């Protein structure tokens, strides 16, 4: 059989593992360079962030000098936003007066228009800490609730666990992407992860639904064949759905502004990962989880 996912399951898992390890390596490397595990925005660390449209090419150091002068901070982080002349400035939290002074100084020094200050944000460390916590707790509870529902609907705890493993895989791949490409981690990150979680669970369920149906009809004597055929039968659907969702989010990426792009790109990665994990991993994980009971299952059929 040319289409044998179960037989090749270790290769598929190895590929995922490599990507995740690369992500972890990137996190460790970045942390050792003092740049932080992720490129955290101030929503996650607290502080002040200013986005400025500089109008033309600019030098990061010039801008940093102005920031240091006004705020007295020695190490403002300046980043040029790719494909634009916009600068993103990250500082330790400064008060309202200093914020106004900074905006004015930048406008004056670089001769910019009044509306060149695109956004100003200030978030206290307390709030950013809470935000991480509530987001994490919400996602964990959501996963637990989904696990319960799937277990009930499929009369099988292992199906639920396999689905959640596929989902965690997708989130890990996304995290790896964020770490390697230093995509800013902010509010949009939470929304992107949630979107992929929703997408991934949906993609996986379609496959387990097919397994459930094929199993019920008793067409297959071996679990291996059951999984392989079920994945194969739903393959076209998996690809088509990924494509259409990809179109929708791809358009958002192509046309969107910076904040939208930062949010669309990881979702696109997550959709690819979600498709991959539901097709190549979810059934395999289930197969492996069955373990010894696999034989019992085969005898029963």
Partner 1 sequence: MKSKGKSVAVLVVLAVVAAVLGFTAVFGLGTDKSLSYHNIKLGLDLSGGVAIVYQADKENVTEEEMADAVNIIQRRLDRKGWSEAEAAKQGENRIRVEIPGVEDAEEAISEIGKTAQLMFLTESGEVVLTGAEVEDARKEVGQVSRNSASEPYVALKFSAEGTKAFAEATKNNIGKPIYIAMDEDIISAPIVNSEITSGECMITGSFTGESAEELASLIREGSMPFNLTVMEMNNIGARLGYNAVETSKTAAVVGVALVFLFMLLAYRMSGFAADWALAIYLALEIIAISALNVTLTLPGIAGVILSVGMAVDANVIIFERMKEEMRGGKTMRASVQAGFSRALPAIIDGNITTFIAALVLYFMGTGTIKGFAYTLMIGIVISMFTAIFVTRLLLKCLIGVGINKPYLYGVKKKQGGELK
Q: Which one among 8, 124, 221, 293 touches partner 1, defined by CB under 8 A?
A: 124
Nearer to partner 1, 41 or 224 (CB): 41
Nearer to partner 1, 148 or 296 (CB): 148
- In the region spanning residues 17 to 56, those forming contacts with partner 1, defined by CB under 8 A, are 51, 53
Q: Which one among 14, 137, 222, 296 touches partner 1, defined by CB under 8 A?
A: 137
Question: Closest approach of Cβ 96 to partner 1, in Å?
Answer: 4
When asked if residue 205 is in the footprint of partner 1 (CB under 8 A), the reply is: yes
Tokens representing 216 are: 């019920």
Question: Closest approach of Cβ 289 to partner 1, in Å?
Answer: 19
When asked if residue 134 is in the footprint of partner 1 (CB under 8 A), the reply is: yes
Q: Which one among 20, 107, 131, 165 touches partner 1, defined by CB under 8 A?
A: 131
- In the region spanning residues 83 to 122, those forming contacts with partner 1, defined by CB under 8 A, are 96-97, 99-100, 115, 117-122
Nearer to partner 1, 21 or 140 (CB): 140
Total of chain residues touching partner 1, rule CB under 8 A: 72
When asked if residue 15 is in the footprint of partner 1 (CB under 8 A), the reply is: no
Taking the CA atoms of residue 163, residue 169, residue 170 and residue 171 in that order, the dihedral angle to the nearest 10 degrees is: 110
Q: Which one among 89, 123, 175, 227 touches partner 1, defined by CB under 8 A?
A: 123
Nearer to partner 1, 246 or 294 (CB): 246
- Provide DSSP, the chain: ----TTTTHHHHHHHHHHHHHHHHHHHHHHHHTTS-SSEE-HHHH-EEEEEEE-SS---HHHHHHHHHHHH--S--EEEEPTTSSEEEEEES---HHHHHHHHHHHHHHHT--GGGEEEEEEE-HHHHHHHHHHHHHHHHHHHHHHHHHHHHHHT-HHHHHHHHHHHHHHHHHHHHHHHHHT-EESHHHHHHHHHHHHHHHHHHHHHHHHHHHHHHHT--SSHHHHHHHHHHHHHHHHHHHHHHHHHHHHHHHHH--HHHHHHHHHHHHHHHHHHHIIIIIIHHHHHHHHTTHHHHHHHH-
Question: Closest approach of Cβ 171 to partner 1, in Å?
Answer: 13
- In the region spanning residues 207 to 266, those forming contacts with partner 1, defined by CB under 8 A, are 209-210, 212-213, 233-234, 236-237, 240-241, 243-245, 247-252, 254-257, 259-260, 263
Which range of residues in 31-39, 58-66, 126-134, 289-297 is near partner 1 by CB under 8 A?
126-134
């Amino acid at each position: 059989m040319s289409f044998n996912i179960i037989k090749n399951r270790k290769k598929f898992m190895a590929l995922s593992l490599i990507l995740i390890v690369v992500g972890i390596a990137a996190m460790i490397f970045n942390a050792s360079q003092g740049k932080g595990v992720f490129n955290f925005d101030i929503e996650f660390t607290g502080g002040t962030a200013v986005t400025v449209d500089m109008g033309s090419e600019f030098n990061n150091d010039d801008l940093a000098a102005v920031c240091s002068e006004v705020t007295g901070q020695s190490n403002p982080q300046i980043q040029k936003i790719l494909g634009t002349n916009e600068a993103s400035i990250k500082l330790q939290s400064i008060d309202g007066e200093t914020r106004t002074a900074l905006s004015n100084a930048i406008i004056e020094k670089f001769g910019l228009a009044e509306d060149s200050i695109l956004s100003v944000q200030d978030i206290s460390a307390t709030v950013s800490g809470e935000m991480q916590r509530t987001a994490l707790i919400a996602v964990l509870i959501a996963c637990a609730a989904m696990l319960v529902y799937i277990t009930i609907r499929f009369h099988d705890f292992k199906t639920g666990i396999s689905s959640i493993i596929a989902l965690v895989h997708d989130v890990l791949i996304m995290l790896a992407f964020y770490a390697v490409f230093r995509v800013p981690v902010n509010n949009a990150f939470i929304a992107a992860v949630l979107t992929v979680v929703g997408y991934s669970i949906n993609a996986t369920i379609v496959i387990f639904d097919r397994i459930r149906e094929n199993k019920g009809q008793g067409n297959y004597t071996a679990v291996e064949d059951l999984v392989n055929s079920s994945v194969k039968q739903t393959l076209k659907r998996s690809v088509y759905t990924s494509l259409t969702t990809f179109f929708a989010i791809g358009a958002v990426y192509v046309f969107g502004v910076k904040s939208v792009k930062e949010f669309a790109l990881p979702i696109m990665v997550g959709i690819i990962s979600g498709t991959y994990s539901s097709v190549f991993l979810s059934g395999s994980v289930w197969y492996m989880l069955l373990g010894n009971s696999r034989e019992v299952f085969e005898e029963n059929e």
